[in-house]
Structure formats: C-alpha cells, structure tokens
Amino acid sequence: MGIFSKKKEKKEEITPEGGNDFLAIDIGTELLKVLLFETSELGIKVKKISRIHQQEKAMSKGVIKNLNTVVENCNLAINDITSDMETPPKKAIVGLAGESIQGVSIIVNYERDEKFEEEVTDEEERKIIEKVHQQIEDTGKEDLAQRTGLLYEDIDILHITVTGMEIGGMPVNSLVGFRGKDVKLFFYASFAPKTYIESLKNLAQNLGLSIEGIVSQPFAVARAFSGAKDKNFSGIFVDIGGGTTDVAIVQKGNVVDTQIFSFGGRVFTKEIARAMNLDYRHAELRKLKYSTGELDKPLERGIKEITYSTAKLWLKAFKASLEMVDDIESFPTQIYLCGGGSMLPDIKNVLLEYPWTKVLPFPKTPRANIFLPQKLEDLKDLSGDLVNPYDITPAALALFGYDKISKPEQHYTNP
C-alpha cells in the first residue's frame, strides 16, 4: 500500500468555447428527442425538451434510413426549443444504437516503479491514459472486425471512457495528487461501423451543428443513474426503444458489458395491428393508451393478450443477450427499465415471472424497477417536462457531454 496525499480540490465554472448551451440528440426509431441543456460546475440544467414522432420509414433498428426525413424532424425539434434564443447552440451530443455497436470493458494494471513515492502529475496521468487508448484502439477494432465480419478499416471508435481509477487499492476520481505504486484503471470502449458514424456527421452538417461527442446509448444510460458510479452499485439497465433494446450491465460502479438487440416497441405495435386489423398509426395509439391505462376493460383485455405473448418473445431475446455476456460470475439483481417500451406493464410482468435463478447465474430473483428522470445524477430540470422513462436517453446523453467537458482527460471520442 502506498502513501497517499491529495491536493485540495477546487471547483471551477465550466465555460467551454462557444458558451454553456448544448443540444443532446436522441434519434429514436419511434420518437426523436432533442434536449436543450446548460452546463455548470454542479452538473447540467435542462432548459427545454422537444419530441417528434418519426415516420415509419425514417429509421430501422436504431439506424438512420432516410437522412432527409430525419434532418427535417431534427430541424423541427431544434426550432421548437431554440426559437426564442438570440444565439442558438451549435454544439451537440448524439447517441448511437443498433446491433452493430459493440463495447468492451478493459481493466489495466499499472506499476509506477521508482516514482511511486512522488505525487502523480497531470502529465503522468495523461501519458498513462493515452498509452491505453492506443492499445484499445488497435485491439478493439480487430476484435469487432472478427465478430461482425466487417473490415478493420470499416470500423471506428465511438468513445473510450475512463470509468474508474484506483491507486494503492483506493478508489479515486483522478490519480493527480496521489502517491502510490499500484495503479488500476477501468475503461469502457465502444466501436461502430464507420458508415453509422458518417451518417451522424452528415446529419450534423445538414443541421449546421458540430458534434462534441457520439456515445453508445446503453453506456450513457447506465452511467446517468444516480449512484451508478459508486463502487457498491451493481445493476442491469434495459432501454426499450422503438427499434432496439439496449442492455448495459454495471458491476461495482463500472459498465462491464453492453448488448443491443433488434426488438423494440414497434414489434408490439405491428402485432396489435396484425391481430386487430388496424393500420400502424391506430395500433400505436392503442398501445400507448394501454400503457397508460386509458382503454376500456374489454379492449384492454384484448390488447393485453397480444402484448403479453409478444413480451414473452421479447424476454427470450433479452435472455439471449444476457447469455452472450462474457466473464459474469453473478448477475446483478436489480433491473432498471426505461424507454417507451418500459411503459408496457407486460414487460415488467414477464421479467418478474421468469425463473432467472434456474437458467442464469442470478443469486436471487431480480427485481424490475422503472428508471424515471428523478433518478438521474447531476441534473436539474428547469423545464418541468422531464417526466417520462423515454426521456432518460436524451438526458443521459447530456450528462455524458457534461462529463466529457468537465473531465476531458478521461475521454476519447471520435470527432
């Protein structure tokens, strides 16, 4: 164990070039959400949020299919929340989902040799992190190429983020100012096909925005939960969107795995449309009213029969995603649901009914909780409109942006 010392921390106002106002853009398959937020030394302040229903052909499984349509929807949302601003923000944080998004958790052990009795400097910490970044870039892209069949040259980094640090066995937020010999760093790296990243850059260019960061959505959601970065926290985050379900597993405050599979709310809508001989729009409306308990009892029973059987199919896909997670000796027993699909009561019911302890290494039957905006960390909602589980993702993107601005040395992002 080394000898520890720590310099007195000083909070400084975060004032990035171009001002403190940013946009967080969640390009959902069903709902496009744009959040206007301001950064401060205490976190973020949400000023406004706009939600636009996407046309059925705009997106597919979390990926942009019709760029012009998505640009038009983004413009509508951005104009809605910035029309009264003299200087609208020109910087954005954008989320990315889709089955081809891959993530990897890395733990790096580092020995400081003869300098261990000296305090870690900014320069030393920077060099350690840069060296690891290069190693992750080389090995991670190669691993994703083997998994997906894509060429190495067709894969790019979304972000590499430091999720935890220890020196001499003690968790710290930064190594700087501490003395010790043994250093342990926890990283999470996300990779995506270059075509996905280029589509978002094209979108930003059409909108006249610069991208401050592109982040894997399940990673952002898992890090946004209050207390999720603490060493005593573990949980499974499940974001059920229109086209995909994003899963992130947190153990002891670190994101250890993410999975994305193409089964979201649109499958439920299409099943209702098919079984009840409705067009898509009316089936979606019935699904939403069922989720909020607004249907009369006979119609509610009919919808429940459809959504419950569909939820059991979703559960099989969710179970398969957990089976793909490597190196998990014991799964966390708290499941946190968000996204529009989490409002369907049958999702929570099938999760609670399933015999998890018999099929996967759960020490006890997991509990399912709805992740609402009140449980977001370092966020103040000035709009009063951040109330739904489907608002978690854009808020999580904003919090990732805040973290990147306040701790730039702990992040590498593609742009």
Q: What is the mean pLDDT of residues 373-378?
A: 95
Q: Which range (128-132, 236-240, 275-279) has the least confidence?
A: 128-132
- pLDDT given at position 414: 61
Nearest to 217 by CA among 51, 335, 393: 393
Identify the three-state secondary structure at position 7.
coil
Q: Which range (1-15, 75-89, 147-161, 339-353) has the least confidence?
A: 1-15
- Residues with Cβ within 8 Å of residue 179, at least 6 apart in sequence: 2, 3, 4, 5, 116, 117, 118, 119, 120, 167, 168
Provide the 10 A C-beta neighbour count for residue 151: 11
**Is residue 93 within 8 Å of 215, Cβ to Cβ?**
yes
The pLDDT tens digits for 47-105 are: 999 999 999 889 987 889 999 999 999 999 999 999 999 999 999 999 988 777 888 88
- pLDDT given at position 279: 95
**Strand-strand pairing, 334-338 and 367-370:** parallel
Nearest to 122 by CA among 409, 411, 413, 404: 409
Given the structure tokens 């995506």, which residue do they identify? Answer: 192
**Strand-strand pairing, 155-167 and 182-193:** antiparallel
pLDDT band at 156 (very low <50, low <70, confident <90, very high): confident
- pLDDT given at position 292: 93
The pLDDT of residue 4 is above 80:
no
- Report which secondary-structure segment, H or E, holds 317: helix 297-323
pLDDT band at 11 (very low <50, low <70, confident <90, very high): very low
**Exposed e or buried b for every residue in 65-79, given b needs 16+ CB within 10 A?**
eeeebbbebbeebbe
DSSP H helices, 35-158, are: 67-82, 122-148
Range 57-62 contact pairs with CB under 8 angstroms and sequence separation of 24 or more:
59/27, 59/28, 59/29, 59/242, 59/243, 60/29, 60/243, 61/29, 61/98, 61/99, 61/243, 61/244, 61/262, 62/29, 62/96, 62/97, 62/98, 62/99, 62/241, 62/243, 62/244, 62/260, 62/262
- Report which secondary-structure segment, H or E, holds 55: none
Q: What is the mean pLDDT of residues 155-161?
A: 86
**Is residue 215 within 8 Å of 139, Cβ to Cβ?**
no
Whole-angstrom Cα distance, residue 222 to residue 9?
27
Nearest to 192 by CA among 266, 258, 108: 258
The two counts, helices (H) then strands (E), for the chain are 10, 18
* Domains of the chain as residue ranges with CATH: 265-369 (3.30.420)
